[in-house]
Amino acid sequence: MTVLVTGASGMLGRAVAEHLLGQGEAVRCFQRRPSGVGAEDVLGSIEDDDAVEEAVRGCTAVIHLAAKVSFTGHAAEFDRINVQGTDRLLRAAERAGATDVVHVSSPSVAHGGTSLVGAPAGRADPDHARGHYARTKASAELLALDRCSASFRVAAVRPHIVWGPGDTQLVERVLDRARSKRLPLLDGGTALIDTTYVDNAASAIVACLRRMDQARGLSLVVTNGEPRPVAELLAGICRAGGVTPPEWSVPGAVARGAGAVIERAWLALGRSDEPPMTRFLAEQLSTAHWFDQRRTRAVLDWQPTISVDEGFERLGTYYRR
């Protein structure tokens, strides 16, 4: 079996490819720059028909992680990469004779901005998802699952807030903002949220591929299953990176209002960097979101092996080195 992993230059995609290689699988990686994992690389864009056709040629299975991940940006770009890119990949994979696809999604596809407490996965809802990323990932997930059939099996895995050594999406941003005293706690950082250490997310995604008979057609949220207050999680990341944790607090309602204004200003100014706050980010930091993991673990026959505390220790070792 040859498995295509898209987006393997990112932290999670790289971990998935390395996990597969460690199990003796033939792996091909598809992304814009070399993955560095020691597998066959096909370089190109998910927006390029020819590059996608070359990437899927001869592959039996696909794990699709490539996406535009950002708190801000123009809607059209999210649509081109996350929705049209997913559709292009699925059609090419089916033509190439692939039989199994794990579509890596996000719990944000079913999050309407209110607290989620021990919640099930929920149906992807592009009409109520918050922001262009969540909206387009919701549309892409529905599109992917709609193609599921007896001969072309598709499942969606939604890892929640993935972090670990080498993470530039969450860890580096937390450290940068805490270092410059620009990281407030919203409502005191008391909201309970669950996260996923990168090794656990990767092993769950690979487990989904192995258990496609049970998982096909399903959406499964993956987490460590250890909800912690936001303040505790941010403090753990900061201490691992040698930075003083945030202590000042801002009301969540104020942050949400400010985030909406900042988002509009960033777009109007044509800025490409991440804004200091967005409405979606404020909602994520001020509302509970943790999930019932019983169904996921039963379907995948999987358990996380790295606890949050052990993850902090590994992160600290990474930064000390």
Transcribe 1-45 into DSSP letters.
-EEEEETTTSHHHHHHHHHHHHTT-EEEEEESS---SSSEEEE--
Is 197 in the active site?
no
Length of the chain equals: 321
Q: Taking the CA atoms of 33, 10, 45 and 209 in sequence, report the sign of the dihedral they define.
A: positive
Residue 261 lies in a domain: no
Structural domain range at position 131: 2-165+196-225+289-306
**Cα(154)–Cα(217) distance, integer angstroms:** 6
**Cα(47)–Cα(40) distance, integer angstroms:** 20
Could you give the number of structural domains in the chain? Answer: 1
Residue 78 lies in a domain: yes
Sequential pLDDT tens for the chain (321 residues)? 899 999 999 999 999 999 999 999 999 999 999 988 989 999 999 999 999 999 999 999 999 999 998 877 788 999 999 999 999 999 999 999 999 999 999 999 987 777 788 888 889 999 988 889 999 999 999 999 999 999 999 999 999 999 999 998 889 988 998 898 888 898 898 999 999 999 999 999 999 999 999 999 999 999 999 999 999 999 999 999 999 999 888 887 776 787 677 777 777 777 767 776 676 677 777 788 889 999 999 999 999 999 999 999 999 999 998
**Distance from chain centroid for Cα 309:** 21
User: pLDDT value at position 118?
Assistant: 86
Query: What are the distances in angstroms from CA 110 to CA 31, 73, 107, 123, 138?
Result: 27, 21, 6, 6, 7
Q: Taking the CA atoms of 147, 126, 214 and 53 in sequence, report the sign of the dihedral they define.
A: positive
- Which of 133, 197, 318, 319 is catalytic? The answer is 133
Closest CA to 241 of 188, 164, 146: 164
User: pLDDT value at position 211?
Assistant: 98
Residue 318 lies in a domain: no
User: pLDDT value at position 121?
Assistant: 86
Residue 101 lies in a domain: yes
User: pLDDT value at position 147?
Assistant: 97
- The CATH number of residue 31's host domain is 3.40.50.720
Residue 248 lies in a domain: no
CB proximity list for 207: less than 8 A, separation 6 or greater: 300, 301, 302
User: pLDDT value at position 261?
Assistant: 75
3-class DSSP assignment, residue 299: helix
CB proximity list for 197: less than 8 A, separation 6 or greater: 162, 163, 164, 224, 304, 306, 307, 308, 310, 311
Closest CA to 81 of 132, 120, 116: 132
Query: What are the distances in angstroms from CA 288 to CA 95, 111, 134, 246?
Result: 42, 11, 17, 19
Residue 31 has phi, psi (to 5 degrees) of -170, 180
Residue 279 lies in a domain: no
**Cα(5)–Cα(19) distance, integer angstroms:** 11
Closest CA to 236 of 310, 131, 156, 135: 310
Residue 239 lies in a domain: no
Contact between residue 262 and residue 281 where contact means Cβ atoms under 8 Å apart = no
**Cα(215)–Cα(219) distance, integer angstroms:** 8
CB proximity list for 46: less than 8 A, separation 6 or greater: 6, 30, 52, 66, 81, 85, 86, 88, 89
Residue 72 lies in a domain: yes
**Cα(237)–Cα(183) distance, integer angstroms:** 12
Contact between residue 195 and residue 161 where contact means Cβ atoms under 8 Å apart = yes
Task: Give CA angle at 67 (66, 70), nearest 5°.
Answer: 140
